[in-house]
Amino acid sequence: MTPRPATASARSVDEYRDTLAALLAHLGDRPAEQVPVPDALGRTLSADVVSPIDLPVFRNSAMDGYAVRAADVAVTPVTLPVAGVVAAGKPGTAPLPAGAALKVMTGAPMPPGADCVVPVEDVQAGDGRIVVERGRGRGEFVREAGTDVRTGELVARAGTVLAPRHIAALAAVGLATVPVLSRLRAACITTGDELRPAGSALAPGQIYNSNGIALAAALRADGVEVVEIAHSTDDPARFTAVLREATAVADLIFTSGGVSKGDFEVVKDVLTPLGGTFGSVAVQPGGPQGYTVVDGVPVLSFPGNPVSTMVSYAVFARPTVRALAGLPEPESRETTLLTALRSPAGRRQYLRGLLTDDGVEVISGPGSHLIAGMAWADVLVDVPAEVTSLTAGAPVRILTL
């Protein structure tokens, strides 16, 4: 029998999550990245962004109509000669002659001398003159320069996750690029001789490999760039080679499988001599856990059962990963348990639940292999370690998936 490496004693969920958060803290220091505004949707601003210009850039008309002096239309109806047309985008606006009107399009620069716009609906036009039927006061239908945002004023704050409305504002002030948090680059390494890729035929004893694909999807949903999804057999030399490839390209590595109490635990066997810490967390699913720093890159090692991998990510890594991406914390709140449940003593249990208007229903069993069952769940039901049973109607915490 392979000698079993020493393991840390069982830790609490909160303690282990905090341990991993500390291990990943330095990833918050990565440099920002300048991205083109059209590509910045969903990215997180790394710095406050201020406007390089006044917006509106110049005093302009809010309507299609006629730029006039308010004093000239104080008494209506009044007839004014139309001295010309100011179109949007045409430079060199001539001043408004005294006692006249200049036709203006929406957004066109206000001619010097004009102080209001009479909308086209309020005039009768013809033969080079207009009859103004309703006057306007000074400033009406005039957009003054800088009234939306002034040069140097904030357009969006550091930490803003850019929505279409932010993209619109950044583009409107003429910014070509914005500084955003660079994406974490993660690699996912699955292990196990029995795993086969999707679409292949299964020999006896083989199963499909889902953990790399699933973990990558979870990471991408949390703003991470997944640079590699790799698989290793249970051969230590092979795993070592795959791991070293990953450390060359990733900021952060996840492994699944090979951390439990079997005879062939490739992840634990390879990483323990490299300084890895392997042990038990008082949680179900996802008890066996490990972490190592290899070539300066944190390696988080989850157990290989598909539900264990996904729950481990959600509970231990996701809050930190999202914080590093500048995304809000996963929602965790109290609701009403709709179905009675039992739970093992001494282990915090995360059951799969379906949220309804009335509370949360536990669906699927506690088994860490029930990955198809997990697809129907939208939350994890968080049962404290000391609780061994809950009746329907009890308050319970949920964690959104």
Restricted to residues 38-67, the positions that interact with a copy of itself (CB under 8 A) are: 38, 41-42, 51, 53, 55-58, 60, 62, 64
Dist CA 22 CA 255 (whole Å): 19
Name the minimum Å distance from CB 355 to a copy of itself.
Answer: 13
Please provide the distance, in angstroms rounded to a whole number, between the alpha carbons at the two ends of the chain. Answer: 40
Q: Measured from the CB atom, is 294 or 303 closer to a copy of itself?
A: 303
**Cβ atoms of residues 141 and 165 within 8 Å:** no
Interface with a copy of itself (CB under 8 A), residue total 98
Alpha-carbon Rg for the chain, nearest whole angstrom, is: 32
Decide if residue 338 touches a copy of itself (CB under 8 A).
no
CB 314 within 8 A of CB 400: no
According to the binding rule CB under 8 A, does residue 289 interact with a copy of itself? Answer: no
| Closest CB 61 distance from a copy of itself, rounded Å | 10
Site residues for a copy of itself, window 216-255 (CB under 8 A)? 216-218, 220-221, 229, 234
Looking at residues 89 to 108 of the shown chain, list those that interact with a copy of itself (rule: CB under 8 A): 89-93, 103, 105-108
* DSSP conformation class of 121: G
Cβ distance to a copy of itself smaller for residue 53 or 394: 53
Quick note: the x/- pattern for a copy of itself over 124-153, rule CB under 8 A, is: -x-----------------x---xxx----
CA–CA gap between residue 186 and residue 226 (Å, rounded) = 5
Task: List the one residue out of 125, 124, 142, 126 whose CA is nearest residue 68.
Answer: 142
Nearer to a copy of itself, 298 or 304 (CB): 304
Nearest Cα to Cα of residue 30 among 140, 176, 186, 166: 186
d(C-alpha 390, C-alpha 368), whole Å: 20
For 205, other C-beta atoms within 10 Å of its C-beta total 7
Asked if residue 88 binds a copy of itself (CB under 8 A), the reply is yes
- DSSP annotation of 200 reads S
What are the tokens at 374? Answer: 């997990």
Selected from 3, 31, 199, 273, the binder of a copy of itself by CB under 8 A is: 199
Interface with a copy of itself in residues 174-193 (CB under 8 A) = 174-176, 192-193
Binding residue for a copy of itself (CB under 8 A) from 35, 172, 323, 327?
172
- Does position 18 interact with a copy of itself (CB under 8 A)? The reply is no
User: Which residues of 120-238 form beta strands (DSSP E)?
Assistant: 123-126, 129-132, 142-143, 154-156, 177-181, 185-191, 195-196, 207-208, 225-232
Q: Which of residues 258-287 bind a copy of itself (CB under 8 A)?
A: 260-264
